[in-house]
Structure 1
Amino acid sequence: MSKTTVLGLTGQTGAGKSTVSAIFSERKIPVVDADQVARDVVDNGKQCLADLCLAFTIDILNGDGTLNRQKFADLVFGDKAKLKKLNSIIFPYIIEEIGDTIKQYREAGEPLVVLDAPTLFESGADRFCDLVVSVIAPENERLNRIIVRDRISDTQARTRMKAQHNDAFYTSRSKYVIVNDGDLDTLREKTLDVLDHVRVDGIDLHPAEE
């Protein structure tokens, strides 16, 4: 079986990580989206959702039995103890699913897989990674992006930002750091520059497009 290198992609909310992830996808590199995995593991009827209800009561549910994501986010992101409890419940389910997905890519012979995970280190998913790329951005720019993206208030956005780590947390744990402090074209250039420096078994991961 050929080696599959796993590149962990992480960063603060609003920093532009999703855009960087999309650029990787454009290069035909498989991306495992940990946010999507997290949504999948709490689908209605899943054991993880039942565990969350036991810990936080059924008040976190919509009338149809699905998770009320906005209400739940407001509940946990402003309370470190509740956020810690959430993570202790959901992370094992996410890790298991991510491991299975990476295994499938490895068996398919993919040379590189990107693991896009905002809580890469907190969840322990960095155990899967051979190297890590972090995306950071100025605080005011992150704040504005979060408000527009999630359609939430300034106060809600700041609460989510405070629940995350500072720049140094990410830069000290990453092989490469992308600072998203310009326009989209600049971010693309920085991302492709990182790809120019990444090699897997001697294969250039930023090949010229056909």
Structure 2
Amino acid sequence: MFLVGLTGGIATGKSTVSSMIQGLGVPVVDADLIARQVVEPGKRAWKKIREAFGEDVFLESGELDRGKLGKLVFEDAEKRRTINKITHPEIYAEIRWQILRYLLKGEQFAVLDLPLLYESNRVSPYLYKTIVVSCEDEIQLERLMARNQYSEKEAIARIEAQMPLEKKCKMADIVIENSGSVESTREQVESIVKLLRSSRQHIYNRVVYGGGLMAILALLIWLLYAFI
């Protein structure tokens, strides 16, 4: 199996592309979804957040008030480091388990939907290809304001807090232009999935890494019997 990274800028349409990829039968590991799951009431990260930030960032139902917490950590670098220290180990542990499950199922490849793919750079060395979802600056700003009910000033601040989209596009192997119609985006996604399915990288990985594991296992067996 091989891994493909999917990322983009805020409000560029990454989630839409991710859903299209899943609709074509490709397994997707969604970091945003995992990030919501690991802070559900009673979970380990949920308890640590309560200890670190108190009751103010929780709703009456006990659920995390993501909007309030997001605003809090966006404005305070120290609090942002604290929340990342709490949640990131949980998120990446679940990502690894999901990848393992898809590997054991014999999937040809899986897509890792990671908003901070290039910023964190934790999984980049393990990716066969990276895909960036992009759109025109004006469209990104309009979408973000409409989606999150931000003022123009707030939306610009959120966009500028991220790695520039232009830089992400230069780092990507594949760029999906999502400024046009849904049909145009879908055509690009279908073409990319077709291209990835034609790859033989999964066979190479099985031969190289599978062969390496078999060699290590054989060596361990030999050592075991050699000293009996």
Please report the TM-score for the alignment, with normalisation by the length of structure 1. Answer: 0.85
- Given that residues 61 and 68 in structure 1 are in contact (C-alpha distance below 8 angstroms), is that contact kept between their aligned partners in structure 2? yes
Q: Which residue of 2 aligns with 1:186?
A: 184
Closer, same or farther: CA 163–56 of 1 in aligned 2, 3 Å:
farther
- Please point out which of 65, 71, 84 is paired with 1:87: 84
**Is the contact between residue 5 and residue 200 of structure 1 (CA under 8 Å) also seen in structure 2?**
no
Identity %: 33
CA deviation digits over 1:42-86, x for unaligned, max 9?
011111122223333332111232211111111122334433332
Instruction: Please give the alpha-carbon distance, in whole angstroms, between the structure 2 residues aligned to 1:13 and 1:164.
Output: 8
Amino acid at match of 2:157: T
**Equivalent position amino acid for 2:26 in 1:** I
The equivalent residue for 1:140 is 138
Tell me the alpha carbon deviations over residues 90-144 of structure 1, each in whole angstroms, 9 at most, x when there is no partner: 1111100000011001101111211111122334243542221111222221121
Question: 1:80 touches 1:163 (CA, 8 Å); kept in 2?
Answer: no
Residue 186 to residue 129, structure 1, CA distance change in 2 (3 Å): same
* Match among 50, 53, 60 for residue 50 of structure 2: 53
User: Equivalents in 1 of 2:152, 2:190: separation in Å?
Assistant: 32
Distance 2:127 2:32 in 1: 17
Tell me the residue number matched to 1:206.
none
The 2-side partners of 1:16 and 1:142 are apart by 9
- 2:49 maps to a residue whose letter is L
4+ residue stretches of structure 1 with deviation over 4 A? none
Which consecutive residues of structure 2, in runs of 5 or more, have no partner in the other structure?
A: 203-228
Contact 1:78 1:163 in 2 (8 A): no
Q: What SS does the aligned partner of 1:121 have?
A: helix
CA contact (8 A) 1:35 1:117 kept: yes
Taking the aligned partners of 1:86 and 1:179, their CA distance within structure 2 comes to 32
RMSD: 2.1
Q: Which moved more, 1:130-139 or 1:84-93?
A: 84-93
Residues 114-129 of structure 1 mapped to structure 2, 5 A cutoff: 114-123=111-120, 124-129=122-127
Q: How far did residue 201 of structure 1 move?
A: 1.9
Spell out the pairing of 1:8-157 with structure 2 (5 A cutoff): 8-123=5-120, 124-157=122-155
Which structure: greater helix fraction? 2
The alignment of Structure 1 onto Structure 2 pairs a total of residues equal to 200
CA distance in 2, matches of 1:65, 1:108: 36
What are the Cα deviations for residues 18-56 of structure 1, in whole angstroms up to 9, with x where unaligned? 111122112111111110000000011111122223333
Question: What's the secondary structure of 2:92's corresponding residue?
Answer: helix
SS where residue 171 of structure 2 aligns? coil
| Greater Rg over alpha carbons, structure | 2
The answer on whether the counterparts of 2:34 and 2:91 sit within 8 Å (CA) in structure 1 is: yes
